[in-house]
Amino acid sequence: MIKKIGVAILGLGVVGGGTYKLLTEHKEYYLKTQNVDITVEAVLVRNKEKALAFGVPKNVLCSNIAEVVANPNVDIVVETIGGCEAAKEYVLTALRDGKTVVTANKELICKYSHELERVAKRTGCGLYFEASCVGGVPIIRTLLDGVQANKVQEMMGIINGTTNYILSKMSQEGADYGETLKEAQRLGYAEADPTNDVEGFDALYKLSILSSLAFHTKVPYTKIFREGITKVTGIDIAYGKDLGYTLKLLAIGKNGEDGVEVRVHPTFIPETHPLASVSDSFNAVYLKGDAVGDVMLYGRGAGSFPTASAVVSDVLYASTHSEVRYSTFKNTANADGSVKFVSDFESAYYLRLSVDDEAGVLAKISGVFSKCNISLVEVSQVSKKKGQNEAEEMGRVPLVIVTHTTKESLIKNAVAKLNALKIGEVKALIRVER
């Protein structure tokens, strides 16, 4: 028997527009393959003229959320307006009125899923958010339905397309950060205000969602260590390449005996690592399960149709599954009190120093690391790279050091001691995952 489903779309921007096109242009395909007859019954927009020009029939246009939820033909509300305040009120209104919600809003889910889910449970509605993380890559469905037989031990991902585009271009062309950011903005990969992406907030919100699902415990975004890419230089990318490393902004989650470890920061990985070849605006997530071993998902992390693909997959899932599932963990604003979070995490480290070109300097530097209980893998006095300020570095030489795995607190202590020696300065500190 064919099931009829009415959908409302809130917002007709990049994602909303792509969602509208997929639902209307693939209507017959979904009827044939999923046995579901989906009709867009309502579209909430500010600019009705733009919506009409887009091809939306006048009779489905709405001016407010009350109009949308009052429509008895609407079964599923799709939220694509972004932001938090208005989106939260719209979603809560829909859920209270008994409408299942599909959203692409990562910040909303990250910060308020506990509130939204509480209302959804009360009214028996579904709350789906595949499109909130990693665009068209089906990572959430994989965590919920694909690797649930496993205890997921680790996840490591390139989950922000803007920063991956910038770092890829810097690596391939030797351009500096500022130039590459402007190019990313010109091409539409970066916003006019790129803070959310380049400072790691976008990846932080996504990691909070994904690690909560993977580790079956609430991981608030406030527990995640965050560092953006604004201090990354082409010089360090070039030195890293010489050492066999590729630089990526990684979202890292680990669930071990010491507790849950979650962090977002620029990271050197071996050029042989599967994530090293993920370039341009593509995204990928690398999982490790105790039974399945390593799994990697790869694809477009943003864009109109890739993200709309994830939205519509949730619409179809909700349409064809009568039983609604909610979080497998206690979904509250804060973490469960029994869960331990690792703040002083372990990593290997790359350091670039500018040091006095004189005898005994290397011994003093090695002594600092020894006193801080940090062992070294590599110490190299390297040639200056293009772009290094000759005047600033006069009488000094660049020194690159790679450490064995050590604690974050120990490396920070070592950096403070090195800078206090007055024989040089630590110019860069980048974590290394092997």
Q: Find where tokens 């010109």 sit.
A: 186
Q: pLDDT value at position 392?
A: 53
Q: pLDDT value at position 368?
A: 97
- 300 and 283 in contact (C-beta within 8 Å)? yes
- 148 and 289 in contact (C-beta within 8 Å)? no
Q: pLDDT > 70: what percent of the chain?
A: 98
Q: What is the pLDDT of residues 45-101, one digit of tens each?
A: 999 999 999 999 999 999 999 999 999 999 999 999 999 999 999 999 999 999 999
SS3 370: helix
Catalytic residue numbers, as ranges: 206
pLDDT bucket at 393, cuts 50 / 70 / 90 = low
- 196 and 221 in contact (C-beta within 8 Å)? no
Residue 315 has, within 13 A of its CA and on its CB side, a CA count of 33
CA angle centred on 24, ends 23 and 28, rounded to 5°: 90
pTM, rounded to two decimals? 0.96
Retrieve residue 373's tokens.
Answer: 């209980």
pLDDT bucket at 187, cuts 50 / 70 / 90 = confident
Mean of the per-residue pLDDT values for the chain?
A: 95
Q: pLDDT value at position 232?
A: 97
Q: What is the pLDDT of residues 353-380, one digit of tens each?
A: 999 999 999 999 999 999 999 999 999 9
Cα–Cα distance measured from residue 307 to residue 309, given in angstroms and rounded to the nearest whole number: 5
DSSP lists the bridge partners of residue 152 as 289
pLDDT bucket at 188, cuts 50 / 70 / 90 = confident
Cα–Cα distance measured from residue 3 to residue 137, given in angstroms and rounded to the nearest whole number: 27
Q: pLDDT > 90: what percent of the chain?
A: 93
Closest C-alpha among 166, 162, 164, 159 to residue 110: 159
Cα–Cα distance measured from residue 12 to residue 204, given in angstroms and rounded to the nearest whole number: 26
Residue 129 has, within 13 A of its CA and on its CB side, a CA count of 23
Cα–Cα distance measured from residue 65 to residue 115, given in angstroms and rounded to the nearest whole number: 19
Q: Residue 147 has what DSSP assignment?
A: S
Domains of the chain, earliest start first: 3-132 (3.40.50.720), 139-301 (3.30.360.10), 346-432 (3.30.70.260)
Q: Is 324 a residue whose pLDDT tops 50?
A: yes
- 76 and 318 in contact (C-beta within 8 Å)? yes
What mean pLDDT is predicted for residues 320-329?
95
Task: Please report the sign of the dihedral spanned by the C-alpha atoms of residue 313, residue 319, residue 321, residue 326.
Answer: positive
Q: What is the pLDDT of residues 115-151, one digit of tens each?
A: 999 999 999 999 999 999 999 999 999 999 999 999 9
Cα–Cα distance measured from residue 414 to residue 116, given in angstroms and rounded to the nearest whole number: 45
pLDDT bucket at 389, cuts 50 / 70 / 90 = low
SS3 238: helix
Helix (H) or strand (E) holding 50: helix 48-54
Helix (H) or strand (E) holding 106: helix 106-123
Q: Residue 56 has what DSSP assignment?
A: -
Cα–Cα distance measured from residue 73 to residue 67, given in angstroms and rounded to the nearest whole number: 12
pLDDT bucket at 391, cuts 50 / 70 / 90 = very low
Q: What is the pLDDT of residues 189-247, one digit of tens each?
A: 899 999 999 999 999 999 999 999 999 999 999 999 999 999 999 999 999 999 999 99
Cα–Cα distance measured from residue 143 to residue 149, given in angstroms and rounded to the nearest whole number: 10
End-to-end, the C-alpha distance of the chain in Å comes to: 53
